[in-house]
Amino acid sequence: MTKIDKPPRPRPGSVVELEAGPLAHGGAAVCRLDGFVVFAQGAVPGDRVLARLGKVKRSHAEARVTEVLEAGPDRIDAVADHPGAPWQILRYEAQLATKQEAVEQAIKRLGKFEDVPVDAIVPAAQQWRYRNKLEFSFGESDTGELTCGFHAPGRWDVVEPLTTCMLGSEKVDVAREAALAWCREKGLGAYDRRTSEGYLRNLVVREGTRTGELQIRLVTSTGELDDAEGFAEAVGCEGVFHTRIDTVGETTMGGETDLISGKPHLRDEISGLTVSISPEAFFQTNTEMAERLYGIAAEEAALRGHERVFDLCSGIGTIGLALSPRAGEVWGLEIVEPAVADAIINAERNGIRNAQFFAGDVRKDMAELVEKAGKPDVIVVDPPRAGLSAKIVRRIAEAKAKRIVYVSCNPTTFAPNAAEFAELGYELKRVRPVDLFPQTPHVECVAVLDRVS
């Protein structure tokens, strides 16, 4: 038997010439170096590039483009001067085609579904300045000056400054610059992610797309913020918060949050609803396309006015409340308690009396919800990017709803979940991709699973 020699593994740190193939999940181009697979970030199909190798594993290596030698047919000039839009070098039509292919391949390869129809992707209404929430990081320039921007590609310890963030509105830019200027004036230093020392960590800016309200949250290490009122006056937002975190890793969640000035909730409008949003509550970051996403979810739920709907991972209640006029009753379950409080306020604010929201974990509390409310006719679930655990899938299936509408932000976790539902008596009927995040590899989709009688 002839032994087949494996291609030699390249050395980390070396610069190599690559021909870029198709884009993989996550946005890197699939390349080959003497038969060895290399995933190159910053390359688009058809490019000929120089790339520096990072991690080198048995089966593949990771690399980042250092120079484009010859541009592929879909490469275009970058618009933004920051790393928050990794696909801005790819024509938008090619972005959509790649996302469509990613959803279809996830359904086939990871879910093992052969004949499930995947609709044409719904394009975004705006390709730039579509985000209603931005999370910036504080860092220092080479000269030691305080900066506020995004992490450099592939670097958890380096923050690249920016002049204009093309993902949020001009108002977000103004608020970020005002916050940075105030922090510089006060002589505050950035948190060092290598030594775990320093004070300023993140700046979270949220905007009510339809109301124009701004909510800003300064995230720091533990310790009081001197002249907090002065910070609030400098940024001039409707709600100003200070969050103190003592963890080593970078996160904007958890810790202790205090309202410095203004209103405790941001007000916005979506799907005919006026909603209140707490600083740490989840709300889709593209308001215009979230409205389209919820409209598709409503179409797929196919409610006729009498159904009992469970809204799982309900957040501030936007999907359940949007469905409520077409449902008999809506029951929401959400693990983040401030978001549940928002959902209850939002139901009251909009005069909705057939929706109730509860704090709880779907994995632990699903059976209790069924016992309290009765068996659901339709379940809508909008989980985090990691998808649903096998136990949560079982708990949802045990409720025996006739239809499940699954809103996913990650086709590679949705597809295995759909396969698990199939094993428990559900048929995947259709998947509809929606582009909420232009200039990035991320894609949302709405899927329908019907119970097989």
Between 366 and 82, name the one with better pLDDT: 366
**Contact assessment for residue 362 and residue 395, using Cβ atoms and an 8 Å cutoff:** yes
CA distance 329 to 7: 60
Res. 240: pLDDT tops 90: yes
DSSP state, residue 197 = B
Tell me whether residue 164 is in a domain. Answer: yes
42 domain-assigned: yes
My answer on whether 325 and 431 are in the same domain is yes
What is the average pLDDT score of the chain?
94
Among candidates 224, 157, 153, 227, which has minimal Cα distance to 190?
157
Q: Token pair of 286, please?
A: 């593209």
Task: Tell me the CA distances in angstroms from 100 to 76, 347, 394, 437, one per residue in order.
Answer: 20, 35, 29, 13
- Judge whether 321 lies within some domain: yes
Same domain for 302 and 342?
A: yes
User: What are the tens digits of pLDDT across the range 388-424?
Assistant: 999 999 999 999 999 999 999 999 999 999 999 999 9
Tokens 């889709």, located at residue: 284
Residues 231 and 375 in one domain: no
Same domain, 116 and 230: no
Is position 273 within any domain?
Answer: no
Is residue 35 predicted with pLDDT exceeding 90? no
Q: What pLDDT is recorded for position 418? A: 98
Chain centroid offset of residue 32 CA: 30
Q: Is 409 a catalytic residue?
A: yes
Both 292 and 324 in a single domain?
Answer: yes
- Check whether residue 257 and residue 299 sit in a common domain: no
pLDDT computed for residue 26 by the predictor: 82
| Residues 260 and 298 reside in one and the same domain | no
Q: Do 439 and 314 belong to one domain? A: yes
- Residue-wise pLDDT tens digits, 290-326: 999 999 999 999 999 999 999 999 999 999 999 999 9
Domain boundaries, position 183: 133-266
Give this prediction's pTM. Answer: 0.92
- Residue 165's closest CA among 149, 147, 153, 184? 149
340 assigned to some structural domain: yes
DSSP 52-84: EEEEE-SSEEEEEEEEEEE--TTB-----SSTT
Torsion of CA 173, 176, 181, 184, to 10 degrees: -140
Residue 168 above 60 pLDDT? yes
Residue in this structure with the two tokens 């696909």, named with its chain if needed: 87
290 domain-assigned: yes
Considering the domain architecture, whether residues 165 and 146 belong to the same structural domain is answered as: yes
Domain CATH number, residue 233 = 2.40.50.1070
Query: Last residue of a domain, which of 208, 238, 266?
Result: 266
> Among 33-37, 42-46, 119-123, which is the least confidently predicted range?
33-37
Tell whether 178 and 259 lie within a shared domain: yes
Band the pLDDT of 83: cuts 50, 70, 90: confident
Report which of 411, 434, 416 is spatially closest to residue 26, judged by C-alpha positions. Answer: 411
- Does residue 277 fall inside a structural domain? no
Q: Among the options 183, 313, 409, 445, which is catalytic?
A: 409
- What is the predicted pLDDT for the residue at 84? 87
Helix or strand holding residue 367 (H, E):
helix 362-373
Same structural domain for residues 320 and 436? yes
Which of the four pLDDT bands, split at 50, 70 and 90, describes residue 4? low
pLDDT of the residue at 5: 62
- Domain boundary, last residue among 216, 237, 266: 266
CATH number for 63: 2.40.50.140
Compute the average pLDDT of residues 196-216.
Answer: 96
Nearest one of 221, 149, 235, 154 to 188, comparing CA atoms: 221
* 366 belongs to a structural domain: yes
Average pLDDT over residues 193-210: 95
Q: Considering its fold, how many domains does the chain have in total?
A: 3
Same domain flag for 424 and 296: yes
Structure-token match 């291609």, residue found: 7
pLDDT-derived band at 48 (thresholds 50, 70, 90) equals very high
Give tens-digit pLDDT for 178-195: 999 999 999 999 999 889
Nearest one of 10, 47, 8, 15 to 28, comparing CA atoms: 47
Q: What is the CATH number of the domain that holds 437?
A: 3.40.50.150
